[in-house]
């Protein structure tokens, strides 16, 4: 493939992303890696596995030697997908479309040889004792600083508020039934879902195969802050997503679907990301990340407040 035009795409943090046009006018998406290549190769292999099961995943173009990654760059090359990410939020007919694709994805990944689906206690969603330790570390580190910027001051107060709610998070998880754990996408938030109008154009940026709770992944996209803070439509919309999910994946367990919001709430309440980023990775703190941090915090509080209502609606 001979490139005649290369344009950097301002998206992504773990890779440098490029749009490439070749000498016959075809467009490609190039990912230049900065991390561990074996991990990236495993993620690409999972994407290929999903694609072979009918999930809309861009096709990866192998090197002339048949490799997934050209280690000299190092980079991978993908079919270019037109459309926009779901970062504007899910609404209207998109709910059912996302549910269908997510159900197909989980049905396919349940067949992945890395791990067979099993059920585990919901307490495994989030280690609350570890969350307490992490919040105590963050709160203590901010308190020891002689001066805090505006975002750091807000992050400290948010961390204190979430630390005080960890008992509720533990109670939520303790009250749930055993839930399904299997190989999943691993990072299915709205930036990794490409939309073409109301249809899903592509699922992108898989993580290496790792068993996780399916309810957690459904919540990742169905209760994404960019969607949930649009208004109350998310409650009815999530029901539409779950109905479409089960139509595409009839073997899915109802306990997993009904527990989606509870799992998403407890997991988010117990997460210090990105409140801890000014301490752990200051260069990653951008205006966009600050906005996301505030939205994610508010989302956790909204899910907690509306959880009894949502449970009744989903049951």
* Average pLDDT of the residues in 27-33: 96
- The pLDDT of residue 11 is above 90: no
Domains of the chain: 3-80 (3.30.200.20), 85-314 (3.90.1200.10)
Q: What is the mean pLDDT of residues 1-17?
A: 87
* pLDDT score recorded for residue 281: 94
Label residue 31 left, alpha or beta by phi (over 0 means left) and psi (-120 to 50 means alpha). beta
Determine the pLDDT at residue 206: 97
In this prediction, residue 132 has a pLDDT band, given cuts at 50, 70 and 90, of very high
The arithmetic mean of pLDDT across residues 158-170, rounded, is 98
Residue 12 banded pLDDT, cuts 50, 70, 90: low
In this predicted structure, the answer to whether residue 14 has a pLDDT above a threshold of 90 is: no
CB 209 within 8 A of CB 217: no
The pLDDT of residue 65 is above 90: yes
Q: Which has the closest alpha carbon to 210: 185, 188, 180? A: 185
Which whole number is the average pLDDT over 245-255? Answer: 98
pLDDT in tens, 259-269: 999 999 999 99
d(CA 34, CA 160): 34
Say what the pLDDT of residue 35 is. 84
Residues 174-210 pLDDT 10s: 999 999 999 999 999 999 999 999 999 999 999 999 9
Is the pLDDT reported for residue 151 higher than 80? yes
For the chain, the average pLDDT equals: 96
Alpha helices in the chain (DSSP H): 37-52, 94-109, 128-144, 150-164, 166-174, 214-222, 225-228, 233-248, 254-258, 260-269, 277-280, 287-314
pLDDT of 4 > 80? The answer is yes
For residues 16-22, average pLDDT: 95
Statement: residue 314 has pLDDT above 90: no
pLDDT at 13: 67
DSSP secondary structure string for all residues of 133-197: HHHHHHHHHHHH-S---HHHHHHHHHHHHHHHTHHHHHHHHHTS--EEEEE--S--SGGGEEEET
Percent of the chain with pLDDT over 90: 95
Residue 157 has pLDDT above 70, yes or no: yes
Q: What mean pLDDT do residues 138-159 have? A: 97
């Amino acid at each position: 493939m001979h490139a005649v035009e290369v344009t950097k795409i301002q998206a992504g943090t773990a890779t440098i992303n490029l749009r490439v046009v070749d000498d016959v006018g075809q467009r490609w998406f190039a990912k230049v890696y900065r991390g561990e290549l074996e991990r990236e190769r495993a993620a690409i292999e999972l994407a290929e596995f999903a694609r072979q099961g009918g999930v809309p995943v861009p096709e990866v173009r192998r090197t002339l030697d048949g490799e997934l990654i050209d280690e000299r760059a190092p980079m991978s090359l993908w079919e270019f997908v037109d459309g926009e990410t779901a970062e504007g939020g899910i609404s209207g007919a998109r709910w059912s479309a996302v549910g269908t694709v997510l159900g197909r994805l989980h049905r396919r990944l349940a067949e992945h040889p890395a791990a067979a689906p099993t059920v585990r206690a919901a307490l495994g969603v989030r280690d609350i004792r570890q969350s307490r330790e992490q919040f105590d570390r963050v709160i203590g580190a901010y308190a020891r600083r002689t001066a805090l910027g505006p975002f750091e001051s807000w992050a400290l107060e948010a961390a204190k508020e979430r630390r005080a709610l960890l008992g509720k998070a533990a109670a939520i998880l303790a009250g749930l039934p055993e839930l399904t754990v299997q190989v999943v996408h691993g990072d299915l938030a709205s930036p990794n879902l490409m939309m073409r109008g109301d249809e899903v154009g592509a699922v992108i940026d898989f993580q290496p195969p790792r068993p996780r709770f399916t309810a957690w992944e459904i919540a990742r996209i169905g209760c994404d802050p960019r969607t949930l803070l649009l208004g109350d439509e998310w409650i009815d919309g999530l029901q539409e997503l779950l109905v479409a999910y089960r139509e595409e994946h009839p073997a899915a367990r109802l306990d997993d679907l009904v527990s989606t919001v509870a799992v998403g709430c407890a997991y988010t309440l117990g997460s210090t990301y990105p409140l801890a980023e000014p301490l752990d990775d200051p260069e990653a703190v951008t205006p966009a990340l600050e906005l996301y941090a505030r939205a994610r915090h508010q989302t956790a509080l909204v899910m907690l407040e509306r959880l009894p209502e949502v449970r009744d609606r989903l049951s």
